[in-house]
Amino acid sequence: MTETPTAPVPLRWVGPIRVSGNAVTGEIEVPLATYESPLWPSVRRGARITRLVDDGLRTTVVDERMSRSVLFETTGAEHALRVSLELADRMHEAREVVSSTSRFARLIDVHHQIAGDLLFVRFEFSTGDASGHNMATLASDRLMGWMLETWPDLAYESISGNYCSDKKATAVNGILGRGKNVVTQMRIPRAVVEKQLRSTPEAIARLNTRKNLVGTILAGGLRSANAHYANMLLAYYLATGQDAANIVEGSQGITQAEVRDGDLEFSCTLPNVIVGSVGNGKGLGFVEENLDRLGCREDREPGANARRLAALAAASVWCGELSLLAAQTNPGELMAAHVKFER
């Protein structure tokens, strides 16, 4: 029995998607690696629709940061409070500690939680074109050392206190930010909805409210209201060498659909797209090739390639989300598609 050295996940390029916005403008194909073959035609159908509207899919990166929360034991809440206040006064020192760890890491914000005598400090960094997991861990390691020296009554408890939070279903990432926060939106003309999606703006808007909003709330969903963001993100992350376990928080996004002047206003908000164009996993040959073809290895200011990569991830999600929702407005269509594409 010989050892298989890789898991070669089937990959297809789909699109192009027509996008415009503050991170990428143009018509770009996206690579999706998946064992679930119906995903490709689903995204393809959405991509086709983006090309039927002048500006295509409007895609906006509204925030970017990577976080790591460290955990200290203090002598009590009053001590924890004092440290947190003094830390706020010494942010310039903290920033210097971070800058010394990397050319790209910058400390942009700090939040904390005090519970009993525990002090959780959530450091938030900009990390250039890297997704930033390791850069954040290294910087936090140094920050922790600096804090233990500065406030000797603190005791080390953990380099990660789960208030980060990495690859877990939590609320903090959507509220304080982690990864790229990307909004994609398009006004789809009624005729396009009817012809391309065999549905209506009214049916899609109503289904979105009843299924993605009400249905997810009934399921006890957490900052989540969508049909299947996780599918597109996984396929895109695998194709581009990302740490794909970050689809856990990536799956927590919100689809909105409203009828406006008879047309369909359809948007996907993804607060936690965690991708990088450099860093761990990006040295593999096929990954480099895919990033090149996406135009995410160009000579740009630090961060611009990663924002482009994130915007295209979100655009892929929008295409697949629209397509599945439209299919579900018609009895039997989803089942027929699975039969067709998987057998």
160 binds its own copies (CB under 8 A): yes
165 binds its own copies (CB under 8 A): yes
Q: Which of 78, 96, 194, 338 is catalytic?
A: 338
Amino acid at 167: K
Catalytic residue among 64, 166, 243, 321: 243
φ, ψ at 230 (rounded to 5°): -60, -35
- The one-letter code for the residue type at 34 is T
Q: Does the active-site annotation cover 243?
A: yes
In the structure encoding, which two tokens stand for residue 131, read together? 């997704």
CB of 84 to its own copies, least distance (A): 8
Residues in contact with 193: Cβ distance below 8 Å, sequence separation at least 6, in sequence order: 199, 200, 201, 204, 263, 264, 326
Question: Of 6, 89, 149, 301, which lies in the binding site for its own copies, with binding defined by CB under 8 A?
Answer: 6
Structural tokens at position 229 = 């963001």
Query: Does 108 engage in binding with its own copies (CB under 8 A)?
Result: no
For residues 41 and 78, the answer to whether their CB atoms sit within 8 Å is no
Count the neighbouring beta carbons within 10 Å of the beta carbon of residue 280: 13
Q: Is 152 in the site for its own copies (CB under 8 A)?
A: no
- Name which position in 13, 95, 295, 304 contacts its own copies (CB under 8 A): 13
- Least distance CB 40 / its own copies (angstroms): 12
Reading the block at residue 2, the tokens are 């010989």
Question: CA-to-CA distance for 38 and 324, rounded, in angstroms?
Answer: 10
Minimum Å distance from CB 165 to its own copies? 4
Q: How far apart are the first and last CA of the chain?
A: 30
Binding flag, residue 261, its own copies (CB under 8 A): no
According to the binding rule CB under 8 A, does residue 304 interact with its own copies?
A: no
Rounded-to-integer distance, Cα 235 and Cα 34, Å:
5
Task: Give the nearer residue to its own copies in terms of CB position, either 63 or 93.
Answer: 63
Q: Between residue 114 and residue 133, which ones bind its own copies under the rule CB under 8 A?
A: 114-118, 120
Asked if 16 touches its own copies (CB under 8 A), the answer is no
Among 8, 54, 152, 301, the residue binding its own copies under the rule CB under 8 A is 8
Q: Which amino acid is at 109?
A: D
Tokens (6 digits) for 298: 């160009």
Q: Which residues contact 289 (CB under 8 A, 6 or more apart)?
A: none
* CA 263 – CA 267 distance, rounded (Å): 13
Where does this chain touch its own copies (CB under 8 A) — which range of 89-97, 192-200, 203-211, 300-308?
203-211
**28 vs 238 by CB, closer to its own copies:** 238
Which alpha helices (DSSP H) does 166-228 contain, by range?
Answer: 172-176, 190-197, 201-207, 216-218
Closest CA to 9 of 239, 230, 220, 206: 239
Task: Return all residues near 204 (Cβ < 8 A) that are at least 6 apart.
Answer: 193, 197, 257, 264, 266, 322, 325, 326, 329
- Assess 243 for contact with its own copies (CB under 8 A): yes
One of 29, 36, 73, 258 is an active-site residue; which one?
36
Residue 7 or 299 with smaller CB distance to its own copies = 7
Among 88, 191, 334, 340, binds its own copies (CB under 8 A): 334
212 makes contact with its own copies (CB under 8 A): yes
Respond yes or no: is residue 168 known to be catalytic.
no
With binding defined as CB under 8 A, does residue 4 bind its own copies?
yes
Query: Taking CB under 8 A as the rule, does residue 54 contact its own copies?
Result: no
Asked about 282 being catalytic, the answer comes back as no
Q: How many chain residues bind its own copies (CB under 8 A)? A: 125
Is 213 one of the binding residues for its own copies (CB under 8 A)?
yes
Q: Which residues are catalytic?
A: 36, 167, 243, 338
